[in-house]
Structure 1
Amino acid sequence: MTTHHDTSVGGSGSLSDGSSSRWPLFRWFASSATLNVPQAAGPVAFSLLALGLTGETNGGAAMILAMTLAQVAGAIPLTRFGKTLPSATMLKLLVAFRTLALGAIVVCAAYQVAFPWLILLAAVAGSVNGAAFGYLRSVLNQLAPASKLPRALGIAATLNEATFVLAPVAASGLGTISPVFALLAITLLGALPAFLVPHVRSAHMEDLPHAKGSILSPAILLWLICAAAGGAAVAAIEIGAVALALNFGYAPALAILFTVPLCLASVSGGIWVSVRNRMATRNAVLAQLSVMTIGSVMAALNHSIGLTVAGAVLIGFVLAPLATHYSLSLDALAPPQRRPEVFALLRTANALGVISASALLTVASLPVALVAIMAMMITVTLAVAITRPS
C-alpha cells in the first residue's frame, strides 16, 4: 500500500463532486455494514452449529473466543503485510481469505469433522478482521472530504448497529432450517465487501494534516484506551444481559430488555452524529465520556431493572459519537502512511475491551464485573480530563 492510496481525502469519489460520485460512497457503506456480518451473527450461528454437532453450545463460545483472540494477534502483522498494496486491493484479499476459512468451516461441519478443527478455522477466519477494518476505514478517506467524515462515520456506525441487531436474528431464523445453511449464508454476506468496496484511483491530501512519528504515541494511546474501556462497558451489558435478567428475577429471554434499548440508543446516537456532521470539541467528548461513565455507574449499582436499563441507554447513546471522535482523532494523529495500522489498532482496542468484559463476567460475579468496568470508565474519563488537548 502506497502513501498515494492511504492518505487521501476527497478523491474522485468525494461527496463534493456531485450525485454521480456518491455511488462509490454508498458502496463503501454497504461494505462497512456487511464486513461485520460474520462477527455479528457468529455467536448465534456458531452456538447452533456446536449444539447440532456436539449437543452443547459452549463450542460456539470457544469459536468466538478463538476468532476474537486471532483478530487481536493478526491486526498489526497483517496490516503491515499489505502496506505496498492499495487499501481496497488489500481489503479484497483479506475478505477473500476470510471467506475461504468460513467456507472451510461450512464444509467441515457438513461432513461432521472433529470440532477442534472448526475452532481452529474460526481463528484463521478471525485473524483478518482487525486488518480488514483498518483498510476499509482507510478507503473512506479517499471517498469523503474531511468536512464530511463525521457524517459518513455516523452513518457507518448506525448501519453497524443495524447489522449487529439483524444478523443474529437472521442467523437464528436460518439456523432453524439448518445451522450449516445459516453459516453458509453468513459466509456469503461476509464476502460482499470484496465485490462492493470501491477502488478510488485519484487521491489528494489537502484536507488532512500530515503527522509523523509513532503509531503508539501518548495521544493515540489515550484514545485507544478510551475505546477499549467503552467496548468493555457495552460488552458488559450485551454479554451480561441474560445474567442481568436473572439477577432481577426475570426469565432469560427478557435479556432483550437491556440489549434492545442499548442498540436503539446507539442507532439514535449515530443519527445524531450524521445530522450534526461536526467533530466534537474536547469538552463535548469529556461530557460524552461522563455520560457513559454515569451509565456504567447506574448499571453497577444493581439497584433496579429501570435504573440498569437507563444506564444501558446512556451508554448506547454516546457510543457512536465517541467512536466517531476516536476515529477522527486517530485520523489526524496517525502518520499518513500508517493510518490502516492505527485503524486496525482501534478495532483491536475495542476487541480487547470485549475480551476484558467477557473474562470478568466469566471469573467474577456479575456485580463485581460491573464495578470493575465502572472503574475503567471512571479512570479513562479522568485521564481525558487531566490531559492536554492533542
Structure 2
Amino acid sequence: MAAISITGNAAGGATALAAMTAAQLAGAIPVARLGRGSNSIAYFKILIVIRTMALFGCAAACSARAPYSVFIAAAVASGLVQGAAFGHLRNAANYLVVPTQMTRFLSFGAFATELTFLVTPILAAALGTVSASLAIAAVAALGALPAFILPSAPAADAKAEEAEKRKAISPDVLIWFACACASSAAISAVEVGAVSLAMGFGLQAGYGAVFTGTLCAASLIGAIGNSFLNRTFSRHQVAGMLAAIVIGIALVLQNSFGLSIVGCALVGLFAPSLGIHYSLQINRLARPEMRAERFSALKISTSVGTILASSMLGWTSVSLTLTAAIWLLLFVLGVISVQDLIVGRRLSTARTQSLPD
C-alpha cells in the first residue's frame, strides 16, 4: 500500500520488504551483541523505540510522498533492530518467569504470535483504505505499547573471560538452529504457496486462505494445548513431531483437497511445540551472557527457512518446494537420531567403566 501511495506501483512493496528482511538478518547478532551484559528489558525497550521511530519515519515518508528510497531507508532501520529485539525479549523471560512456568509462558507467546499473524493484516488493510501512512503508524504504535508495560528485571551477570565470549557455537546449538530452519521452511512453503495450492485444485486464488487459515487455527490449538500441558519434550517426542510434520507435508502434496487440509492441520498443530522446544534448548545450552545473541541467531534461522521456501516457490513450483521441505526435515531428523545414538553409546560406555571390577 505504501509503494502504491508513493510510486503508484505495488511491486515496490516487495523491494522494501526484502530490504527490511535483509537488514534484520544482518543486524540481529551485531545489535544483540551491543547489549551484552545490559539489562535485557531496558535494552529491548531501547530497540523498540528505534524500531517505532523508524516505522513512524516510514509513515511520514508515505504521507509526504517522499522519494521511495527514503521510505526504504526507514524500513531498513526498523528491520536492523528487529532480530536483536526478539533475542533480548526472549532472554528477559528468564528473569520474569519461573523455570517451571517457562513452557506455559512460551505457549502464550506462540498463541499471541499466531493471533497477531491473523489480525494485523486485516487491521492494516482496513486502515489502509483510509491512508497507508495511517496504517503504518497504527501498527507501529501497537507494536510499541506492550514493550513499555513490561516490568523491570535484574541485569544478567555478564562477567566472563574474553576467551569464553569468543567460544564457537557448539554442535548441539547448531543442530537446533538447523531444526528451526527446516521447520520454518516447511511452514512457510504451505503459507506462501497457499494460493498456488488453491489454484492447483482449480479454485480461485482467494481460497488460498483456507490452507493458511487451517494451519494458523491448528497452531492456535497447539499453543493452547502446550499451555495446559506445561511440559518439556524428550528428543524422541521431538523426532515424532518432526515426523508428523513430514507426514503433513506429504498429505498436502496429495492430489486431494481434503487430505491437503488435514496435512495443513498436522503441520500447524505441532509447529508451536517444536518452536518452544528449540527455544528451551537454546536457553539450556547457551551461556547466560550469550543467550540474547543465540536467540537472535535462532530468529535468523527461522527467517532463513522462510527465505529459502519463498525463493524456491518463486523459482520452481509449490510441489518441488514442499518436496524439498520434506527432505530438509528428514535430514534434521537423521541428525537428531545419529546424535541420540552417539550420546546413548557414550552413556553406556560411562556406566560400564563405572562398574566395579
Q: Residue 185 of structure 1 corresponds to which residue in structure 2?
A: 138
Check if 1:163 corresponds to 2:107: no
Cα distance between partner residues in 2 of 1:215 and 1:278: 30
> 1:253 Cα shift?
1.1
Cα distance between partner residues in 2 of 1:146 and 1:212: 25
Deviations 1:151-170 (A, max 9, x none): 11111111111111111111
TM alignment of 1:365-380, pairs within 5 A: 365-380=317-332
Deviations 1:201-232 (A, max 9, x none): 3889xxxxxx9984621100000110011111
Q: Residue 314 of structure 2 corresponds to which residue in structure 1?
A: 362
Q: 1:77 aligns with which of 5, 19, 30?
A: 30
Check if 1:269 corresponds to 2:217: no
> Contact conserved, 1:76 with 1:345, CA < 8 A, in 2?
yes
> 1:83 Cα shift?
1.1
> Contact conserved, 1:150 with 1:279, CA < 8 A, in 2?
yes
Larger CA Rg, structure 1 vs 2: 2
TM alignment of 1:129-208, pairs within 5 A: 129-201=82-154
Cα distance between partner residues in 2 of 1:250 and 1:214: 53
> Contact conserved, 2:165 with 2:290, CA < 8 A, in 1?
no
Check if 1:350 corresponds to 2:302: yes
Q: 1:333 aligns with which of 244, 266, 285?
A: 285
> 1:372 Cα shift?
1.3
> Contact conserved, 1:92 with 1:193, CA < 8 A, in 2?
no
> 1:102 Cα shift?
0.7
> 1:173 Cα shift?
1.0
Percent identical residues: 37
Equivalences, count: 337
Q: Residue 86 of structure 1 corresponds to which residue in structure 2?
A: 39
SS of the residue 2:96 aligns to: coil
> 1:378 Cα shift?
1.5
Deviations 1:312-364 (A, max 9, x none): 11110001100111111111100111110111111110011111111111111
Q: Which structure 2 residue ranges, 5 or more long, are not aligned?
A: 158-163, 345-357
SS of the residue 1:200 aligns to: coil
> Contact conserved, 2:5 with 2:62, CA < 8 A, in 1?
no
TM-score with structure 1 length normalisation? 0.83
Cα distance between partner residues in 1 of 2:249 and 2:270: 12
> Contact conserved, 1:241 with 1:258, CA < 8 A, in 2?
yes
> 1:145 Cα shift?
1.6
> Contact conserved, 2:38 with 2:156, CA < 8 A, in 1?
no
Q: Residue 19 of structure 2 corresponds to which residue in structure 1?
A: 66
Cα distance between partner residues in 2 of 1:212 and 1:84: 11
Q: Residue 192 of structure 2 corresponds to which residue in structure 1?
A: 239
Q: 2:50 aligns with which of 70, 81, 97?
A: 97
After superposition, the Cα gap between the structure-2 partners of 1:332 and 1:54, relative to the gap in structure 1 and judged at 3 Å, is same
Cα distance between partner residues in 2 of 1:90 and 1:280: 31
Cα distance between partner residues in 2 of 1:132 and 1:191: 12
TM-score with structure 2 length normalisation? 0.90
After superposition, the Cα gap between the structure-2 partners of 1:103 and 1:249, relative to the gap in structure 1 and judged at 3 Å, is same
After superposition, the Cα gap between the structure-2 partners of 1:212 and 1:83, relative to the gap in structure 1 and judged at 3 Å, is closer
After superposition, the Cα gap between the structure-2 partners of 1:202 and 1:87, relative to the gap in structure 1 and judged at 3 Å, is closer
> 1:132 Cα shift?
0.3
Deviations 1:9-56 (A, max 9, x none): xxxxxxxxxxxxxxxxxxxxxxxxxxxxxxxxxxxxxxx222233333
Q: Which structure 1 residue ranges, 5 or more long, are not aligned?
A: 1-47, 205-210
SS of the residue 1:387 aligns to: helix
Deviations 1:163-210 (A, max 9, x none): 111111111111111111111101111222431222123889xxxxxx
Cα distance between partner residues in 2 of 1:114 and 1:302: 47
Check if 1:109 corresponds to 2:62: yes
Cα distance between partner residues in 2 of 1:198 and 1:349: 29
> Contact conserved, 2:39 with 2:156, CA < 8 A, in 1?
no
Cα distance between partner residues in 2 of 1:124 and 1:53: 19
Q: 2:275 aligns with which of 323, 346, 352?
A: 323
Cα distance between partner residues in 1 of 2:190 and 2:10: 21
> Contact conserved, 2:156 with 2:289, CA < 8 A, in 1?
no
Q: Which amino acid aligns with 1:333?
A: L
Q: 1:128 aligns with which of 81, 87, 109?
A: 81
> Contact conserved, 1:296 with 1:377, CA < 8 A, in 2?
no
Q: Which amino acid aligns with 1:330?
A: I
Q: Residue 242 of structure 2 corresponds to which residue in structure 1?
A: 289
> Contact conserved, 2:49 with 2:144, CA < 8 A, in 1?
yes
Cα distance between partner residues in 2 of 1:383 and 1:212: 27
> Contact conserved, 1:215 with 1:342, CA < 8 A, in 2?
no
Q: Which amino acid aligns with 1:375?
A: W
